Chains A and B, each alone.
Chain A
Amino acid sequence: AQRVTQPEKLLSVFKGAPVELKCNYSYSGSPELFWYVQYSRQRLQLLLRHISRESIKGFTADLNKGETSFHLKKPFAQEEDSAMYYCALSPDSNYQLIWGAGTKLIIKP
């Protein structure tokens, strides 16, 4: 079955510390992976996608097909990174996204 797992509901780190939000997926094909973010009182928006292989707001994510993971990382957390983060999978690049339950990231001053 196709599934996206974000094992941490809540992650709290201090400002300046490294951040890693975990995302594991279950899918046998060639999925496309995304990270979406929802800042307080704002709408859900795309943060990055694995095919872009770019860094957005200091965040990177590498698709590891062997471990079926797409963890989101940032070396030095900032207070404005506090938000809900959702990992999503698009099976074979079609339109239907499968979502993880989300991780709430809190950056402590």
Chain B
Amino acid sequence: NAGVMQNPRHLVRRRGQEARLRCSPMKGHSHVYWYRQLPEEGLKFMVYLQKENIIDESGMPKERFSAEFPKEGPSILRIQQVVRGDSAAYFCASSQQGANVLTFGAGSRLTVL
């Protein structure tokens, strides 16, 4: 069991480009969560998804950010027209249905130049 897989681990983008971060949940987990960690801050909830369904996106910025969890394939967090303030570590976690104990991926570190 490979656990929660995130890629890429490190991503460098220039301002205005798009960033795509991928997350494959742990086997048997149907729920995916994305968190963002800015430097010197704690984890901030972004979005909670099930397959083909966004359950809660209350933590997502209203513009430029989107997330999906298709029927097949990984969950994707997409950031359009990145700005320097998007530089952060983005963590994905998964859980079984109805559980609040999360299994985390290793994170994807986005650097915007």
Chain A positions within 8 Å of B, measured between CB atoms, are: 4, 6, 9, 32, 34, 36, 42-46, 49, 86, 88, 90, 93-102
Contacts and interface: CB of A to CB of B under 8 A. Distances in A.
Interface of B: 3-4, 31, 33, 35, 40-45, 48, 56, 91, 93, 95, 99-107
A86 B43 contact: yes
B31 A95 contact: yes
A4 B42 contact: yes
A45 B91 CA distance: 12
B106 A43 contact: yes
Given A44-B91, A45-B103, A100-B42, 18 more contacts: A32-B100, A36-B104, A43-B106, A44-B93, A45-B104, A49-B101, A86-B42, A86-B43, A93-B100, A95-B31, A95-B56, A97-B102, A98-B45, A99-B42, A99-B43, A99-B44, A101-B40, A101-B41
Contacts of B45: 96-98
Contact of A102 (B42, B91, B99, B107): B42
Task: Among B56, B102, B103, B105, find the residue whose CB has the most chain A CB atoms closer than 10 A.
Answer: B102
Given A95-B31, A95-B48, A96-B48, A44 B104 contact: yes
Given A43-B105, A43-B106, A43-B107, A94 B41 contact: no
B44 A46 contact: no
Contacts of B4: 43
B100 A46 contact: no
Nearest to B101: A46
